[in-house]
Amino acid sequence: RTVYVNGEYLPETEAKVSIFDRAFLMADGVYEVTSVLGGKLIDFEGHAVRLERSLGELDMKMPMSREALLEVHRELVRTNEITDGLIYLQVTRGAPGDRDFLFPDPETTEPTVVLFTQSKPGLANSPVAKTGIRVISIDDLRWGRRDIKTVQLLYPSMGKMMAQKAGADDAWMVMDGKVTEGTSNNAYIIKDGKIVTRELSTDILHGITRAAVLRFAREAQMEVEERSFTIEEAQQAEEAFITSASSFVMPVVQIDGTKIGDGKPGARTARLREIYLDESLKKAV
Q: What's the min distance (Å) between Cβ of 191 and ligand PLP?
A: 21
Q: What's the min distance (Å) between Cβ of 245 and ligand PLP?
A: 3
Q: What's the min distance (Å) between Cβ of 182 and ligand PLP?
A: 6
Which parts of this chain interact with ligand PLP (CB under 6 A)? 33, 181, 184-186, 205, 207-210, 243-245
Of residues 93 and 210, the one with the C-beta less far from ligand PLP? 210
The kind and range of the H/E element at 112 are strand 112-119
Of residues 9 and 231, the one with the C-beta less far from ligand PLP? 231
Judge contact between 224 and 194, C-beta under 8 A. yes
Using CA atoms, how far residue 190 sits from 30, 136, 219, 221, 268, in Å, is 32, 18, 17, 14, 8
What are the two backbone dihedrals, phi and then psi, of residue 168, each rounded to the nearest 5 degrees?
-115, 180
Q: What's the min distance (Å) between Cβ of 246 and ligand PLP?
A: 7
Q: Which of 269, 265, 148, 276 shows the shortest CA–CA distance to 204?
A: 148
Residues serving a catalytic function are: 149
Which segments of 131-244 are extended strands (E)? 133-139, 170-175, 178-182, 186-191, 194-197, 224-226, 239-244
